[in-house]
Amino acid sequence: MKFTVEVISKKNKTRVGVEKDANLLSVLQANDFNIYAPCAGNGTCSKCRVQVIDFGSVLSCQHSVQEDITVIIPDKLEMEVLVSQYSHTLTVPFIPDQTAMMSSYPLGLAIDIGTTTIAFYQVNLITGVLQGIKSAVNHQATFGADVISRIFYCTENEGGIKLLQRTIIAQINEYMQIFAEENSVDPGFFTKIMIAGNNTMLHMISGIDPKSLALAPFTPVFTKHQMLNALDLGLASHPDAEVHLLPSVSAYVGSDIVAGIASLANEGDKPYLFIDIGTNGEMALVSKEKIWCCATAAGPAFEGANISCGSGAIPGAISTFSETGFTTIGYAKPASICGSGLIDIVSFLLDQSKISEDGLLEEDFIVSAAGENALAENISITQKDIREVQLAKGAIAAGISILMQRSELEYSDITHLYVAGGFGNYMNMDSAFNIGLLPEEMKGKTELIGNAAGTGALLALKSKSFLERIELIRQKTEYIELSYDKDFPLEFALKMYFTPPKLTSSQRSGK
């Protein structure tokens, strides 16, 4: 029996006839599509990901063709991220533990629970092979776009925390079922689950009231490594499956950041910056002896929320923009603007002097006219959109500035700026520097490393020694609460400008 594989690459579509059960990576390679697969198709590196329409993200080396499918292969920028992530990821040996003895076909699941997106990684606990990757919008978004909204939902609605807990558990069960069906087994074959996430998400999956995270002095109920009971949680896994919540640092620097830093193979003595840009901007300055970290409420602008024509990274979202035109995700007809496209557009408007240094936009900028897109109206950027970008980029840039001040280091001391997170995968670095989101001193030192939190959860699933590494990192980390920091308000105000005024050290200190 023959099927058709339609491949979308750089706006081009190619149709290939294949036999049933054909390996997708082999099909793509045989037809001269450049798919990054550093482990040679052994299923251990997770870098040969492609998007299969109506199916999701798959490892092409582990996917067999069972029907007619349409595949979107990574663009140049995403491929560069995959290469960069692989070169900077720590290598750990896989040693099966007691969970591999709990089933005839034991499966593990590493999960990165973000405020907006959840990433799932399925692993064979006998071989260590990564058999599948999937991602989805966090179903809790129904109850609020950010963590504060969800915390307030819990406090203002009786049974709110139980509802949000059930929502996330149901979503994990849904994806365990999907993975299990792909392996022709039952979800009960999952015997080990490793979870990274921000502290609000970890409290909610535990069913613990997160109210203390939103009230001064912002004290979490727990930050240490937790092991929960799968049966008590209502997970469809093996009833005795190990469920681990990786350790955090503070209310707003969660295990996603700790796991992300631990996943890096940077073992030198030179300091580096690590930043995860999402609904929250979480960042750290890492040195051999100490780590300084903080978190800023960047807001959901870069996730598409609060932007007039904004959206997440969905088909049809404008994801890149320049004076020569734009591209959309999946090369579909334009329907919205996602975060990476938003940054490109604002950078372009600055270069064209259509935005002033303080963010004034005289008139709406039409990105795609009605009739030329999938809508019956213009896709535009408004003055309010510019203000949302200023708030988001100002918070992140100010957080980095505070880290530098508290560490008493100079940018010349910093070897790398690692940008993590799903949004960072697609962000044009030149545009990010141009609008002041990232410090211009780090040009030429910046690496996009993809979902480092997911990578960290995956390494923790494979290696007990990696859990010890995470704990060592947590212990040497100092958290800076920006809401109490005397210098943050001024830094935030200055960083909202697209060309910040230059102040002397005495002016910054208020002398």
511 residues of the chain, pLDDT tens digit each? 788 999 887 667 888 898 888 999 888 888 888 787 777 777 777 678 788 887 777 888 888 898 998 888 776 655 555 555 566 788 888 988 999 999 999 999 999 998 888 989 999 999 998 888 888 889 998 898 788 899 999 999 999 999 999 999 999 999 999 999 988 999 999 999 999 999 999 999 999 999 999 888 889 999 999 999 999 999 999 999 999 999 999 988 999 999 999 999 875 678 999 999 877 789 999 998 999 999 987 767 787 778 999 987 777 889 899 999 998 887 789 999 988 899 999 999 999 999 999 999 999 999 999 989 999 999 999 999 999 999 999 999 999 999 999 999 999 999 999 999 867 667 899 999 999 999 999 999 998 888 899 999 999 999 988 999 999 999 999 999 998 999 999 999 999 999 755 544 444 445 4
What is the number of alpha carbons within 13 Å of residue 81 lying toward its C-beta? Answer: 24
What is the structure's pLDDT at 38? 74
pLDDT score at 427: 85
> Does 81 map to a domain?
no
CATH of the domain at 209: 3.30.420.480
Same domain, 251 and 383: no
On whether both 505 and 359 belong to a single domain, the answer is yes
Total number of residues shown for the chain: 511
**CATH number of the domain that residue 28 is part of:** 3.10.20.740
Residues 114 and 159 in one domain: yes
pTM of the model: 0.83
The answer to the question of residue 468 being in a domain is: no
In a domain? residue 211: yes
Domain end marker among 225, 256, 287: 256
Q: For residue 182, what pLDDT is reported? A: 86
pLDDT of residue 63: 86
Q: Whole-angstrom Cα distance, residue 448 to residue 96?
A: 31
Cβ–Cβ < 8 Å for 73, 14? no
What's the rounded Cα separation, in Å, for the pair 75 and 5? 18
Tell me, yes or no, whether 68 and 175 share the same domain. Answer: no
Same domain, 126 and 198: yes
Measured CA distances, 28 to 44, 50, 73, 389, 434 (Å): 19, 10, 9, 39, 37
Give the three-state DSSP class for 99. Answer: helix
Note whether residue 82 is domain-resident.
no
Domain final residue pick, 230, 256, 282: 256
Same domain, 289 and 322: yes
CB 59 within 8 A of CB 48: yes
In a domain, 383, yes or no: yes
* Same domain for 418 and 280: yes
What's the domain range around 190? 98-256
465 within a domain of the structure (yes/no)? no
Distance CA 58, CA 135 (A): 10
> Does the residue 380 lie in any domain?
yes
Q: What is the number of domains present in the chain? A: 3
* Residues 368, 286 share a domain: yes
Query: 129: exposed, middle or buried (C-beta count within 10 Å: 0-12, 13-18, 19+)?
Result: middle
418 and 504 housed in the same domain: yes
Q: Is the domain of 509 the same as that of 402?
A: yes
Q: Tell me: do 400 and 511 sit in the same domain.
A: yes
Decide if 490 is inside a domain: yes
Whether residues 145 and 234 fall in one domain: yes
